[in-house]
Structures are given as C-alpha cells and as structure tokens.
A and B are shown apart, each in its own frame.
Chain A
C-alpha cells in the first residue's frame, strides 16, 4: 500500500485543533487529527454525567477521582497517570490536562471574551511586555464569524476595550446577581451581562438550545454549549470524509527533512505502546500552549539542534497564566429565601464586571474582571459543612443538632455569594517551561519542568482585588467570610497555572530572534509548521483565552488553506 501523505496533521483536538480540523477539512484538505486521549462525545450515555443526581455518586460528587468533582467532564486534571511534570526548586506551577477528544473545552467555563484594541498593544500604554504584531482590527472579522459559527450570548455595551459582537441574548440575572449588580453600581464598579458560549437561542439545526441545568462543566448532551468535540470535531469527522481521527495517540515530536521542514509527526500509540509516524505536508500544533512547546523542544534535529522553532531560545518562555483571587460573603438579606423555584440557570454567572478602572491611577499595570457565583445550587459533597456557623453574624446560636440544625441549613441556603478576580499577568522571559533533563513520562518522552514566579505587578493587583471584594460585599449589605489574605499570603494570589489560562510559550512576533511564530502563527524556522493553541499569545489580557484561540486558529487555518492552494505547502 502506498504511503499516505496528509495535507495537514493536526495535533490536539481542543479549541484550536478543533477549529483547524473544521476549516482545513471543509476546504478539501486531507487531515489527520491526532489526539492523546480517547474518543469522547458529550452525547454518549455511557460516559455522560449531565443531569445525574448527587446520590448516584457514592461520594456525592467529592473530588477523590476527579479534581473538580465526580461529575466534572475532564478526563485528567492536575495529574495524568504516568505523565508527570516537574518544577524548578522554589516554584510551583499547576498544569491541567484533559486527555480526551475536545480536551478541556468539554468542561471549561464557556466565558468567551474578545480581546480589545488595548490588549494587542499594551506595551504602548504602559511600556511593559510586548505588543502583538497584529491589531484588534485585523482579528475582528474572525471574532465576528466565530460568534455566528459557535454562538455566544452577551449584550451590546459599547465599551472600547470589551468589544461587542454578534450576541445571542443573555439570560436574566438570578437573585444573588441582582444583589451584586446593586452593590457594584453603588460603589462604581461596572457590571454587565456575562458573555458565555452557551446557546440561549437556536443557532442552527445541528445543535440544541440551553435547558438551564447549570452543568456546562459536565459537557452538554444537547450540544447547547461549545465543546470542540461536539461542535467541531465530531461533525468534521462525520461530515467531509476528509478527516482521519487518531485517538490515544500521543505525539512525541515533529519530524523534519534535510531542509528543516516538517515531514510529519512521530507518536506513541497508547494501546500497544509502540512508536509510529504519520507523514504530512504541514503540521498544525494545537496540543495546548505547554504541550505544543514540549513537542517542539523534543523535536531536535541537525537542522534544529535546540528544538524545532527554537533558534530564538524563546520556545517555552513568556509562559503566563491569568491571575486569580477570590472572596466569599454572607448576605443576611438572602436568609430564609423562598426556595420553591428552579434557579439553576446556565452553567456559570449571568452577570460579571469587566475591568472598569484606569491603571495609570493605580499601583499595578494590568486589569482584572470579576466573576460572580452563588444562589440555590444543587447540593453535593461539602454542602452543609459548618452549616450553623453563619449564626454568629446574626446573633444566633452556633452549633447544635436536630430541628435547630435543619432550620439552620435552610435558613442559610443560597445566602452566600462569591467573587473571583481573573486578571492579566505580565509575560516575562524568565517564566518558562523547558524539558526536564532527567525525567521522562511512561512513554519515554522527556517531560516539562516549570519555572514560574509571580512579580509585584501581580501581587499588587491581587491586593486590589481583595480590597474590592471586601468593599463589594459590604456594599451588598453583606459580611465578608474568612480572613482577608495578607501580604505574607501574596494577598490570596492563586498559584500560577491554577486558573488554567496558560499562554505565551510560542509567542508571535515580527522578529525571529525574539519570537517563535510570525503573525500567522507559522514558525519562523519551518514554514509548514503552525501553532493554533494559546502558545502564540504575546499577552493574555484580563479576558479568558479561548475565544481568541479560536479566532486566531480560524485565521491561521485559512492562511494554511491559502498556502496549500498556492502549493507552498
């Protein structure tokens, strides 16, 4: 049998790889999609967790087997069996991997924010980090098409750095969110309807409409939210006949020829634990920012002695994650609520606060947005722990048992509100992932070693978050719970990686000496290799990265199609 040569080999089936699979296959290119995890379809009743009851889990949803709980639809979390990662001494980066078709998009928060004009040129504003080689105006047409292709609810707000799009209508706020809106407005914090890729209205005939179970993290069997599995990959595999899907196939490296151009990939089949190769005219990496960097670093050859695309020594560098901090408050006015209505809503907040201040007047350079949670959610493991403690704030008796305890549980149900800040960190060259010189995973592939430290830019931002949360809780008539994090605790700043927005490891730029890809996410060092995950991000913005991953992947994929038609690849 003659050797099959694919037009493109796509590595990873998440947001970036899924988009590339759709665009390239629909353009008639013959595609191999290579995924390290098994097949997954949110519709498959065998693996589905959506709409299950807590008592179906013997641990009532506790996190023994899955870090975000028994019902969370991520196969793999901070740990993946047999696939460790290591840390430089004194650092602690957390890395989430979902090993399954669609990757992390099966359980993500669906927060779908465009980056704004400032976000692409932030160095011009504060002199920190670097500008992107592209502007908002260049990406806008792709965001516009993405909105219509995938669906996102939101509202027109005419905020310069939070651009509007083609939105489905947002859901009405829940009760605790009305308290948040009122409290935020009173203190001058902006608040608008949230922007999530959940179908509150029919988008097309292929996908269902949200039925308000609040369980997007379990993957939607009606395909009413965005998962790359349901929205991109499965339709592409079923539809065009152009896609060969390889699952349980762990890509180790990109193979290259004497000219240093890619010839395909080398991968481990997890089922027989043997190494195989696929041949392709181009390779599109969408394995996730860190995994794609790892593949490039492991692709050493005579032509690329420092790893493929790494003549600049920039692969793995400029790694940065969103900052994170949170606080919880008790709202006495929400005690003894009427419970006889279903408040589940969509899977996530119905309202949020985009960044509302000017950093020129603050002691930290970049902004953050605030996510809000609360309400009468479905009980799971942990529900009712220390149920009567809130009595101490309202003159009641803490402790007890019997009918008094039952009354306490009901009295305080839905009376707690939480806020999480998600902010922009400064990308720094020293923060990186690199190959560990000694450690391999169970497939014999050198693993990543992380080396990431926060700076005062992020710490002072976290301090501002905490001050804001406290003020917001008071403004809502509430009482902040727990202790305010101190300087010694980095003001509650979560660990790098913990927000799962890691970006920047193969950053784009016009200068091959200081960047890995050009503005089309094409390697400077090998013109038939592209990166479509969050690796090419120059900076993260105070937004979530997925919507920009997909807009960039669409743009890069169409560039690949163009190059293919011109026979450049």
Chain B
C-alpha cells in the first residue's frame, strides 16, 4: 500500500452540518494525499504560513534608497574585497540587511537612527552627507566609531560606536553566511562525508592526543556498512 493511500484525515464537507451530538462515533472515510507540489527552488522546506510570512516581509519597505546607499558604502568599508575574496556588496550584504531589519524589527530604530547620526556627524565635520564624503573623510569618522571607548574619552561618539557595532555585526554575519564567506573562512562542511577523527597534521599543532584506549572503542569506518551484531554481553561482533 502506498503511503499516500494509507493516510487518513477527514475531508471538509464529507459530514455536512455535523454537530457534536450527531457525529458521535462517525468514522473518517476518505483518504487524502498529504503531499503538495514540490516547493519552488530556494524555499528550503517552508510551511505555507512561513512562505506567506516571508513574502509579506519581502514586500514591505523599511529602509529608503539613501539609507541603503549609505549601508552599501559602510559594508564595503567593513569588508572590502581582498585578493582572494569579494567585498560585502559582492556578497549582497546590503540586501540581507534590508531584509533582516524588517524581519527583526528591534534592529529598525537603531539602524535608521544610527544612519541619521552618521549623516549628522558628516554634516558637522564636512558639511555634507556621509556618502558624499571622500574616502579620507569617511575613514576619519569611521576611525572614531569603530573601536570601543571603555573609559568614556569621546562621549559624543557613543551613539556612533553603538551603531557601528550593529552594522559591523550584521555585515559580518551576512557575509559569512554566503558561499563567498564560506570560502573565505575555509568552512568545508555541510556535505556528506565520513568523520574519522582529527587529521594527523592538525593534531600535531595541538597539545592533545587520541588515547589509544578511547579510540579502540570508536567506529571502524571500514565496517560501517556491515550490519551490527552483538554477543550476549553487548560486545559488538561485526
């Protein structure tokens, strides 16, 4: 019997006008197919209500063009391209930030207010908005807000430091959760493989070892496809 044939649920309308009193003992009779059409690519197993939620969030507009343009400049100051890796805008980090501030609304006011603070600061220093500044001018402001100020030596920079921390966090997370970021980081996982312990050359760099007694208990990967059998004392025989 196919799985789909064996799934039972009640169909709406099969028991017209049913009430508690009148349906006592009634039986569901109709098998229905619980399978739906394959999700469009990229939906990573979403439920209908999640698809609906995501579509709604995507359709909303929060950040305006000027704010997004400023974010793009900031992202590439935070993670510019290197010889081997693309920049944050190459990894489409501004689009991620655009989405995530809508998805996690607690980011909204700090992001919007921080961007405005940045423009005010640029206006105060250079009489123009941040993105109109030349590179040296941008960096002059960024250098004042990119490091913590634990001793309160530049209290007027406090909001800027807070803001830069936020956009730096979102930029780093947005970047390193892309293929480009994985490659830059060297993360090689998320594919099927056979874990057989830390490579020798890695162990050699560390002051730890595999205890032979411990390893003797561990899986022999050459026999992983042989069906397990035990003796009566729980000793694995295969």
Contacts and interface: CB of A to CB of B under 8 A. Distances in A.
B58 interface: yes
A181 B208 CA distance: 9
Given A3-B25, A211-B193, A201 B226 contact: yes
B113 interface: no
Given A46-B38, A212-B195, A378-B190, A333 B206 contact: yes
B44 A342 contact: no
A415 B199 CA distance: 17
B228 A271 contact: no
A441 interface: no
A326 interface: no
A346 B57 CA distance: 34
B188 A340 contact: yes
B227 A202 contact: yes
A213 interface: yes
Given A52-B45, A238-B3, A341-B199, A271 B190 contact: no
Given A340-B188, A383-B177, A410-B186, A57 B195 contact: no
Contacts of B125: none
A247 B34 contact: yes
B219 A379 contact: no
B5 to A, nearest CB: 10
Contacts of B10: 246, 249, 269, 271-272, 276
Contacts of B184: 406, 410
Interface residues of B, number: 106
Given A172-B197, A274-B15, A344-B195, A376 B187 contact: yes
A209 B225 contact: yes
A60 B173 contact: yes
A233 to B, nearest CB: 11
Given A174-B198, A344-B193, A56 B42 contact: yes
Contact of B148 (A53, A170, A274, A398): A398
A245 B7 contact: yes
A260 B39 CA distance: 49
A279 B194 contact: no
Contacts of B227: 202-205
Contacts of B218: 169-172, 193
B23 A47 contact: no
B194 A170 contact: no
A270 B140 CA distance: 61
Contacts of A38: 34
Contacts of A247: 7-9, 34
Contact of A179 (B36, B57, B208): B208
Interface stretch (A63-71, A285-293, A314-322): A63-71
B202 interface: yes
A439 to B, nearest CB: 21
A105 B162 CA distance: 41
Nearest to B91: A55
Contacts of A338: 199, 201-202, 205
Nearest to B42: A56
Given A209-B225, A343-B189, A55 B172 contact: no
A382 B44 contact: no
Given A168-B236, A202-B228, A238-B1, A333 B207 contact: yes
B217 A64 contact: no
A212 B193 contact: yes
Interface string B153-176: 000000000000100110011111
Contacts of B190: 51, 53, 213, 344, 378
B96 interface: yes
Contacts of A164: 234
B182 interface: yes
B188 A406 contact: no
Nearest to B9: A247
Interface string B211-238: 1001101111001111110100011100
A410 B85 CA distance: 13
B230 A166 contact: yes
Contacts of B182: 379
Contact of B103 (A64, A166, A278): A64
Interface string B33-75: 0111111001011010010011001100000000000000000
Contact of A62 (B79, B104, B226): B104
A172 B82 contact: no
B23 A275 contact: yes
A175 B201 CA distance: 12
Interface stretch (A16-24, A301-309, A384-392, A497-505): A384-392
B176 A383 contact: yes
A344 B99 contact: no
Contact of B187 (A153, A179, A378, A400): A378
Given A58-B103, A65-B53, A234 B189 contact: no
A367 B227 CA distance: 36
Nearest to B77: A401
B127 interface: no
Interface in A200-236: 200-205, 209, 211-214, 234
A54 interface: yes
A258 interface: no
A49 B177 contact: no
A342 B148 contact: no
B26 interface: yes
A325 interface: no
Interface string A264-286: 10000101101111110000000
Contacts of A56: 42, 44
Nearest to A218: B45
B23 A276 contact: yes
Contacts of B168: 401, 405
Contacts of A474: none
Given A62-B103, A156-B234, A380-B177, A272 B12 contact: yes
B228 A168 contact: yes
A32 to B, nearest CB: 9
B174 A200 contact: no
Contacts of A339: 185-188
Chain A to chain B: the 10 pairs with minimum beta-carbon distance, closest first: A339-B186, A384-B172, A399-B147, A172-B197, A211-B192, A169-B219, A178-B208, A54-B177, A344-B189, A60-B177
Given A211-B194, A238-B3, A341-B199, 4 more contacts: A53-B190, A166-B234, A277-B24, A384-B175
5 contacts: A170-B219, A193-B218, A238-B6, A271-B10, A381-B173
